[in-house]
Homo-oligomer: A and B are copies of this chain.
Amino acid sequence: MMIVVMRKDATLKQIGSVIKTIEELGFRPHMSEGEEKTIIGVIGDERKVSKDALAVLPGVESVVPILKPFKLASREFKPDKTVVKLNGAEIGGERISVIAGPCAIETYDQVLEAAKSAKRAGAQILRGGAFKPRTSPYSFQGLGEEGLKILKSVGEKVGLPVITEVMTPELADLIADYVDILQVGARNMQNFALLEKVGKISKPILLKRGMMSTIEELLMSAEYIMANGNRNVILCERGIRTFEKYTRNTLDMSAVPVIQKLSHLPVIVDPSHATGERYMIAPLSFGAIASGADGLMIEIHPDPDKALCDGYQSLPLPQFEEMMAQLAAVAASVNRKI
């Protein structure tokens, strides 16, 4: 259902013409005359028509959609929470899932050291970047397939499922051969060709919110993946762009309860990218779990001062392990476990 609001000075002929158009589009019109304005309800499934078709008619002031534009991703469609199952881990259930690892895969030893720490501390999934999106063409772009091999091999050795980012449709199948979850990064949240491609892959997808995207658009992008057949989507809040300058982005913590209400998909938080500063990771991780997030994504590094990428925001391993110990207490206080 949509609502068409007529202008105060709309003529009867204009109102009649709107009603006729509604009927031609296959909907049923429903008029209400107010003291100042007439409004017309459009009865039917509005997702099947663009609101523009009515908004452009003479005498129309505005068109207000009533239905949400996403469906498969909505709680109304599937009231029970989705639990994404992996080889040896799950996201969206009673346990909190922590995804940890280095920003970029540099060497086997670096990944192994981080992975052992992650495992020891209770993280469930190992992350590492092989193909890196960089705003500057002059920055380090990642090891490519060589990195995928390292990641897979380390994951098997320590017994953790692995995740990496896919940036372009043609690499999706290759990457899916190496990892347990594919990540669609914030800059690609509306790369529709990529969303369609990963929608046809049989592995779970972690979809990061674009730093310029609304929660509704995040859910629409999840809908793209789901409409192509893949129902195992995990959402990730990683900060949005605002005028505030002390943080790289503004972590939108309220996205957690909003998504939990509107959608059945699990939602995790990435405090490393949101803030860009190491000292905020522990407090905001505690805050995310207490706010109801299903998990966290955290950058860790055996020697952050020498990291090729994002060292500034990576936690050293001892700090990470200390944080995880306290995180268990926070999780327990909101009836979750690690």
Contact = CB atoms under 8 A, between A and B. Distances in A.
Contact of A66 (B37, B214, B244, B254): B37
Nearest to A62: B66
Contacts of A8: 76
A41 B138 CA distance: 22
Nearest to A190: B187
Interface residues of A, number: 112
Interface string A229-271: 0000000000011111111001111111110111000000000
A283 interface: yes
B283 A138 contact: no
A106 interface: no
A242 B306 CA distance: 34
Contacts of A252: 242, 244, 250-251
Given A66-B34, A252-B250, A257-B280, A244 B191 contact: no
Contacts of A216: 245-246
A81 B3 CA distance: 30
Contacts of A137: 196, 220, 223-224, 227-228
- Among A48, A168, A212, A311, the most chain B Cβ lie within 10 Å of the Cβ of A212
Contact of A3 (B64, B191, B245): B64
A177 interface: no
A116 to B, nearest CB: 22
Interface in A172-208: 187-188, 190-194, 196
B190 A133 contact: yes
A288 interface: yes
Interface stretch (A83-91, A146-154, A289-297): A289-297
Contacts of A45: 35-36
Interface of A: 1, 3, 5, 8, 30, 32-37, 39, 41, 43-45, 47-48, 50-53, 55-57, 64, 66-67, 69, 76, 133-139, 167-170, 187-188, 190-194, 196, 210-217, 220-221, 223-224, 227-228, 240-247, 250-258, 260-262, 274-275, 278-280, 283-284, 286-292, 304-312, 326, 329-330, 332-334
Q: Considering the complex of A and B, which 6 residue pairs feature the smallest CB-CB distances, nearest first?
A: A212-B212, A287-B291, A1-B34, A290-B290, A286-B290, A168-B193
